[in-house]
Amino acid sequence: MPAEPTPTGAHALSTTGGAGAAPQRLAQAALRDLPWEVGIAKPDPAIVVDGVVRTFGGLTAVSVDHLEIQRGGITGLIGPNGAGKTTLFNLLTGFDQPDGGTWSFDGRPLGKLAPHQVARLGVVRTFQLTKALSRLTVLQNMLLGAQGQKGESFLRALVPGTWRAQEKANTEKAMELLRRFKLDAKKDDFAGTLSGGQRKLLEMARALMSDPQVVMLDEPMAGVNPALTQSLLGHVKDLREQGMTVVFVEHDMDVVRDISDWVVVMAAGKVIAEGPPESISQNQAVVDAYLGAHHDAALTIEEEDRVLAEAEESISREEHPDDLRRPGRPDEKGTDR
């Protein structure tokens, strides 16, 4: 465990009140000086999770004892594949229900609410565009966002009359967002014709149609080319500048380090570490559970040797498929059985 910094900033925040300063700057300052402890209380939490457990058969996908997400900050959620990040997102936004536990936004319990109800309260998440959505235009997708992310019941939202009264205002808002995300020229294109990066931008823009206070982004940079990555990163930072609370799942540690004010690390369903980005690589539990196991980690010399030996073996097998008595194959030497 790293040495704990003195929590001067958090206390300074609560005593000075920071009159006139931007809320997001205060959030960042407060987070910077918090102890790096799992479950640590935040000065001004937007989301509080308590004892949330989700099992699938015998597998515990999520088991989070206590987690607070600071208002106005960007929190990165990382962990190896299968750690439970997406399941936690699903639970917090009403797309899945837990076996037990409670969670709240601004002190209001969010349990047992449907996704569009959670969205109406101000918490939205991005999710993969479905095939059906790809057959709607960019603008239609945006207008669906205004319906509070009903998701799969989008057909109902398209029935004339259910949204006509608000359509003009919503269209203006949608166009404004599309301009911001540089997608306005594509408003009449089918979403399915957009590139991966443009779809991510559309997802983010659509999430903003319901004026959220908390935005949860599930791998916003995945599949995005480097040119658009910078643009997406800029948009995520913009959300914070506008006072929103951002939680995002990401595998790319450079991205995590670049934009996170705070990082939460999950492994096997549990939060195993939290702290500012610079704390993460210093935490042995994280290195063991996450960085060491991660597919992006550089190979050690021993691993490289093993991979090379396996490749040579495989090439040799292809070149001499009939040579079953080749030396170096343990199962044929009769010694390893």
Ligand X SMILES: Nc1ncnc2c1ncn2[C@@H]1O[C@H](COP(=O)(O)OP(=O)(O)OP(=O)(O)O)[C@@H](O)[C@H]1O
Print the SS3 string covering 14-57.
HHHCCCCCCHHHHHHHHHHCCCCCCCCCCCCEEEEEEEEEEEEC
294 near ligand X, rule: CB under 6 A: no
125 near ligand X, rule: CB under 6 A: no
335 near ligand X, rule: CB under 6 A: no
Tokens of 17: 């009140």
76 near ligand X, rule: CB under 6 A: no
Tokens of 283: 């935490």
22 near ligand X, rule: CB under 6 A: no
265 near ligand X, rule: CB under 6 A: no
* Contact criterion met (CB below 8 Å) for 32 and 9: yes
240 near ligand X, rule: CB under 6 A: no
Cα separation, 211 vs 124, whole angstroms: 9
Sequence-distant (≥ 6) Cβ neighbours of residue 237 within 8 angstroms: 74, 259
Nearest approach, Cβ of residue 334 and ligand X (Å) = 39
Q: Give the binding range for ligand X (CB under 6 A) out of 74-82, 160-168, 207-215, 305-313.
A: 74-82
Nearest approach, Cβ of residue 59 and ligand X (Å) = 6
Q: Give the binding range for ligand X (CB under 6 A) out of 85-93, 163-171, 187-195, 233-241.
A: 85-93
Cα–Cα–Cα angle for 207, 208, 210, nearest 5°?
Answer: 90
Nearest Cα neighbor of 29 from 49, 15, 39 is: 15
Considering Cα of 314, then 316, then 317, then 319, what sign does the dihedral take?
positive
Q: Give the binding range for ligand X (CB under 6 A) out of 65-73, 78-86, 176-184, 299-307.
A: 78-86
64 near ligand X, rule: CB under 6 A: no
Per-position x/- string for 44-63, each x denoting binding to ligand X as judged by CB under 6 A, each - no binding: ------------x--x-x--
Q: How many residues sit close enough to ligand X to count as binding (CB under 6 A)?
A: 11
235 near ligand X, rule: CB under 6 A: no
Helix (H, G, I), strand (E, B) or coil at 87: helix
Site of interaction with ligand X (CB under 6 A): 56, 59, 61, 79, 81-87
